Amino acid sequence: MIATKSGGSFAPLLRPTFALLWVATVIGNIGSFMRDVASAWLVTDLAAGPAAVALIQAAATLPIFLLAIPAGVLSDILDRRKFLIAIQVLLAAVSLALLLLAQSGLASVAALAGLTFLGGIGAALMAPTWQAIVPELVPAKDLRNAVALNSLGINIARAIGPAAGGLLLASFGAAVTYGADVASYAIVIVALLCWRRPAAQEDPLTERFAGAFRAGLRYARASRELHIVLVRAAIFFVLAAAVWALLPLVARQLLGGDAGFYGLLLGAVGAGAIGGALLLPMLRRKLDTDGLLLASALLSAAVMALLALAPPKSVAIVLLLLLGVAWIIALTTMNGTAQAILPNWVRGRALAVYLTVFNGAMTAGSLLWGTAAELLGVPLTLLVAAVLLAGSGILLYRFRLPRGEANLAASNHWPEPLVAAPVEHDRGPVMITVEYRVSAENRPGFLAAVHKLSAERRRDGAYSWGVAEDAAAPEIMIEWFMVESWAEHLRQHRRVSHADADIQNEVRAFHSGPEAPVVRHFLSN
């Protein structure tokens, strides 16, 4: 039942524009899954070797690894509606080219890999942009539900698309399957044209591509919590990629299935993911994030090991259902943790870094396990990957994921900087100093506290940071940090969070001067 305006899981669907784009996106994703099924199966007709099959998987994920961060920046500086329409046109052109190749009988592994790579470029450009438009479509109180509905939509498409693609492929051939994908993009384009997006307001502090790119990388380098998520994700997904890279060969060689059966297996993954999403609230009450990730690793490993034994087809379908449960648990846990530790101003770019690691791991894993299968065979490769995935899950269980409980909303507690005359926004670099007076007995505590500020300053925009003492008066301590321009420092004022303010208050507690610490701004000449 649809929730009322007071909120609820389906409340965002009461927003006509969100509902229209959500339905269109589900249809578009169904088409994409149908295209992927056709390409993955077609390559087994052209070259049955594991390396060729894994190459198609790698071609789909490599562009996201290469372009996710630039795409995250573009989503912040371009008109998102027009950008999304252009991407849909690109993706439709790719599927139309695949249709023509399949119809003419000129398809080759090289052509499939190249066009799959182009499709991956479109996916790389679209992912952060599509996430970024959600706050424009629903009020803040419905944002979490809108994000959850988007995840549900993807898994609905994952459940329907592969099975429908397999049926179309078996009944009418690859050309018709690709044609259905082209039609799905047309539907998405029409929906985007119906969205009357208001013009963006001018902001003198709007970031440009190069500066926004550098700011996103600086944040990623300075955030230890993000590092933990990225390491855990990289290890998990490079090992779990084995089942995805080799699944077409599992369906065809180990299980003796046809294209329809392969689509059914992928549909089972999607159905399992929907079931897993419904189970997650109950699982979260029993397990923390680390427990959920361990359970996902062990369940995925068990599925891979059992598939290596060439079970009956009915058992294989059940195993893929369980794989869908494990996969949605891992994806939701990792993505949810990343979302929880990121402030709004850098969320798109930092999530793009996460997507880069995720897709890089999937790409590397596809190539690794495809090569291994050439040498060891598909069953043994799956068993090796299963053992490594289970073992890494157990070993990394104590390498805890961050809790994401800090208040990262902007505090806006920094006063406007004092200037004698207006400063050009592009002037820089700028050195900011904060002068403290610290007694000798408080010095160790002050130094321990002030070094916590290093990561915070760097995350919010500083490219260099340090602390020094006055040689003539050791009780005077100077914290200094450098930012690349005056505009970047003004953005820094907007970025400081309540959690950052708590750290700053801890540092200021050691200041013994009669007045507040003195802040100065020095401009390069």
> Which of 381, 207, 357, 368 lies closest to 308 in space, CA to CA?
381
Q: Which pLDDT tens digit goes with each residue over 469-516?
A: 999 998 999 999 999 999 999 999 988 888 888 999 999 999 987 788
> Which of 335, 365, 366 lies closest to 352 in space, CA to CA?
335
| pLDDT of res. 319 | 96
Q: Is the dihedral of CA 27, 33, 36, 38 positive or negative?
A: negative
| pLDDT of res. 2 | 39
Residue 182, token pair as written in the block: 């082209």
> What is the phi/psi pair of residue 480, to 5°?
-130, 150
> Which of 226, 227, 277, 283 lies closest to 406 in space, CA to CA?
226
Rounded distance, CA 396 to CA 357, Å?
A: 18
Rounded distance, CA 361 to CA 229, Å?
A: 13
Contact, 252 vs 117, CB < 8 A? no
Rounded distance, CA 440 to CA 423, Å?
A: 38
Contact, 17 vs 137, CB < 8 A? yes
Task: Tell me, rounded to whole angstroms, the distance of Cα 507 from its chain centroid.
Answer: 34
> What is the phi/psi pair of residue 213, to 5°?
-60, -45
Q: How far is CA 156 from CA 93, 160, 356, 386, in A?
A: 25, 6, 24, 27
pTM: 0.76
Contact, 229 vs 337, CB < 8 A? yes
Rounded distance, CA 269 to CA 251, Å?
A: 13
**Which residues lie closer than 8 Å to 497 by C-beta, 6 or more apart?**
343, 406, 407, 408, 409, 410, 411
**Average pLDDT for runs of 10 along the chain of length 525:** 48 88 92 86 73 75 79 78 92 93 85 88 84 76 70 77 84 90 94 83 74 87 92 95 90 85 83 82 85 95 95 94 90 80 80 83 89 92 96 92 81 84 90 94 92 90 93 93 93 89 91 87 90
| pLDDT of res. 7 | 52
3-state SS record for 221-266 = HHCHHHHHHHHHHHHHHHHHHHHHHHHHHHHHHHCCCCHHHHHHHH
Contact, 146 vs 18, CB < 8 A? yes
> Which of 170, 374, 331, 336 lies closest to 263 in space, CA to CA?
170
